[in-house]
Structure 1
C-alpha cells in the first residue's frame, strides 16, 4: 500500500490542502474544530509529512539542524531524541552536526552547513550556545536559532533560549550532603568552557555559605566531564590526611569514576564516603550503590528547544519583523539514592539560615 499524501488527508477530512498545511505547521488561524478533524484524519491515515517535499513545494525550508560538541554520549543521544521528537511532531527534517567548539572558523563552518543543507534554523547546544561571538555571527547571517544553556535566570539578551538552572540544582545536592552531617565536601569541576561547570560550582558554594561551612579550595579540583578524570581526581583527594567524607562530581560520569576510585582504595560507599553526581544518566542507575544525583531531562530540554525554534520560524513566515518566543526554564530535580549517607559518628545539621541561599561572595 502506498503512503498517505496530504491530498488524502484533505479528502478524508473534507478541507482544502491549504488548511491541512496550516494544521501541520501549527498555524493559529485554524479553528479548533477544523484542526481536530484534520488531526483525526492524519492519525487514521498514518500520514507523515515529507520535509523534503514540503521544502521543494515551498519557498520555506522544513529542516532544522542540531549543533553540538559534547563527549558525553548519553547527553548527545538524549538531546537528539528530544529534537527528533519535535521534528516528527511538526513534520520537520533534522540534520545533526557535531563540531569542535574551539575550532577556528567555527562560525563560517556552521553558516556553510546551514546554507548548503537549506536549514530553516538551528538548535545550538552548549558550549556553542554560550559563545557570544558565535551567536553574533550567526545572527548577522540571518540564521534563526534557539540556544540551550546553563543559567540561573533568564539571560534576556534578545536571543531565544531554553535555560537550565544548574545552580539551584547543585545547591540542592550540596544541601542534601550538608544536612546528612558532611562538612568536608569536595567538588569536582567539569569542562571549564561549559557554562554548566561554573553554574554547578556556584550552587555548591552557595549552599556551603548558607550553612556556614567554610569553602576549602583544596577540596575543589578542576578537570573534565569524564569517568577517567573523576577517578584520577578522587584518588588524589582520598590520599590526603584530611580526606573528604563526601565528593560531589559535576556529572554522573565523574561521580562513577569517584565510585571506582573509592572501591579501589577499599572504602565502603556510602559509609566511608558519600558520592553525588549530576544529570541522572545510566551511570547513576547502574552503579552499585546507585548514585544520588540531580535529574536533568535532556531529551525534554531538546524537544522544547526545537519546538521554540519552529514557533520562531512560523512567526518569521507570517511576516512578524519583531519575532520573539518566550524563553523557558528547567530546574533539575534532586534524586536521593544509596550512594549518600551520614558520615560515621556525625549527626544531621540544622536548616540553613533564611534568606541566605542564592548568592556567593
Structure 2
C-alpha cells in the first residue's frame, strides 16, 4: 500500500493543503477546532511528513542531528527515543550520526554532515558535548548545538541539559556505608566521559564525610562495559583484603561485577553487595536485581532536543522562549536486592588460577 500524502490528510479533514501544512509546522494561526480535525486525520491515516521534501520546498531545514559515541547500546537507544519524541511533537526529522569522539577531524566531519544533510542543528552527547574545542569550532561555523553533559550545575556557557552524577554517586556510596560497608570498591567508566569523574568524586566525597580512608587499591580504571566490570571485580576480589561492596560506574559494569562474583562462588548480597548507575535493563534483568541510580535518559534527551527545536522555531512550543531553558536532572537512588548489610566475615578471595579470565 502507498504511504498517505498531505493531500490525503487535507481531503480527510476537509481543509486546504496550506492548512495542513500550517498544522504540521505548528503555526499559531490555525483555529483550535480546525487543528484538532487535521491532527485527527493525520492520526487516522498514520501520516508522517517527509522532512527532506519540506526542506527542499521551504529552504528551511526541518531535520536535526544526534551525534553519539558510546559503548552502551541501552543508553544510546534511550537517548534516540527521547530525541525522536521531541521531533515527532513538532514534525522535525532526525538523522543519527555515530562517530569517533577522539578523531582530530571531528569538527570538519560534523560541519560537512550538517551541510550535506541540511541539518538545522545538532544534539551532542558525551564525550563530544564535553569537548570545549569541538563545541567552539562548531559554534564558530554557525552550527546550532545543544549539549548533554555531566555537571552539578548549569555551566552557563550555552544551551545544555546537565546531569548531577556526583550527588547521585554520593547517595549510592552513602547507602553502602549505612549498610555497614567500610571497604567499598569503585570501578571507573571511560575517563573521556566527564560522568566518570563526577561519579568518582561523589564516591570519594561520601567516604570522606563518613570518615573512611580512601584505599587506592579499591579503585580500578576501565570503561563502561560488561567485560571491564568483570575483569575489575576479579582484580578486587583477588586482593588480600577484598571489598565487601563494589560500586560500578554504570549498570553494565555492575552486571559484570555480578558475573565475576558468581564465578568465584560469592553470594550476592550476603557475601558482596553490588551497585550500578543509570537503571538500564541490565539492572532490572540481573539476578538479584541491581541497586542503582535511576537516570531519566529519555527525558534528558527529549529536553535537549526541545531546547534545540525551540531555538530554531520560536513558535514550536507555547512556553518558548522563557519556559525552554537549560535544565538539570539528578538520578535517584533505587534500592534492590543486590545490596545488603556488610558480612561479618570478609568475602572469600578466589584461588589464584581463577583470576586468569
Give the TM-score normalised by structure 2.
Answer: 0.88
- Label 1:310 to 1:83 Cα distance change in 2 as closer, same or farther (>3 A): same
**Cα RMSD over matched residues?**
2.4
String of CA shifts for 1:17-56, please: whole Å, max 9, x gaps. 4554343233456565554444334334433211122112
Once residues 2 and 235 of structure 1 are traced to their aligned partners in structure 2, the CA distance between those partners, rounded to angstroms, is 56
Once residues 29 and 137 of structure 1 are traced to their aligned partners in structure 2, the CA distance between those partners, rounded to angstroms, is 38
- For the 8 Å contact 2:226–2:253, the answer to whether it is kept is yes
SS of alignment partner, residue 290 of structure 1? coil
SS of alignment partner, residue 315 of structure 1? coil
- Label 1:106 to 1:135 Cα distance change in 2 as closer, same or farther (>3 A): same
- For the 8 Å contact 2:306–2:324, the answer to whether it is kept is no
Stretch moving more, 147-156 or 124-133: 147-156
Which residue number in structure 1 is paired with residue 342 of structure 2?
343
Which residue number in structure 1 is paired with residue 47 of structure 2?
47
Q: How does 1:1-361 map to 2 (within 5 A)?
A: 3-10=3-10, 13=13, 17-28=17-28, 32=32, 34-157=34-157, 159-315=158-314, 325-345=324-344
- For the 8 Å contact 1:312–1:324, the answer to whether it is kept is no
Deviation at 1:6, TM superposition (A): 3.4
Deviation at 1:71, TM superposition (A): 1.1
Stretch moving more, 165-174 or 34-43: 34-43
Once residues 219 and 106 of structure 2 are traced to their aligned partners in structure 1, the CA distance between those partners, rounded to angstroms, is 32
Gaps of 5+ in 1: 347-361
Gaps of 5+ in 2: 346-357
String of CA shifts for 1:257-311, please: whole Å, max 9, x gaps. 1112211222111111100001122221222211111122322322222222111
Deviation at 1:340, TM superposition (A): 0.4
- For the 8 Å contact 1:150–1:199, the answer to whether it is kept is yes
Once residues 256 and 248 of structure 2 are traced to their aligned partners in structure 1, the CA distance between those partners, rounded to angstroms, is 9
- For the 8 Å contact 1:160–1:325, the answer to whether it is kept is no
Give the TM-score normalised by structure 1.
Answer: 0.87
Once residues 9 and 328 of structure 2 are traced to their aligned partners in structure 1, the CA distance between those partners, rounded to angstroms, is 37
Deviation at 1:148, TM superposition (A): 1.0
Deviation at 1:197, TM superposition (A): 0.3
- For the 8 Å contact 1:67–1:96, the answer to whether it is kept is yes
SS of alignment partner, residue 153 of structure 2? coil
- Label 1:102 to 1:316 Cα distance change in 2 as closer, same or farther (>3 A): farther
**Count of aligned pairs:** 341
SS of alignment partner, residue 54 of structure 1? helix
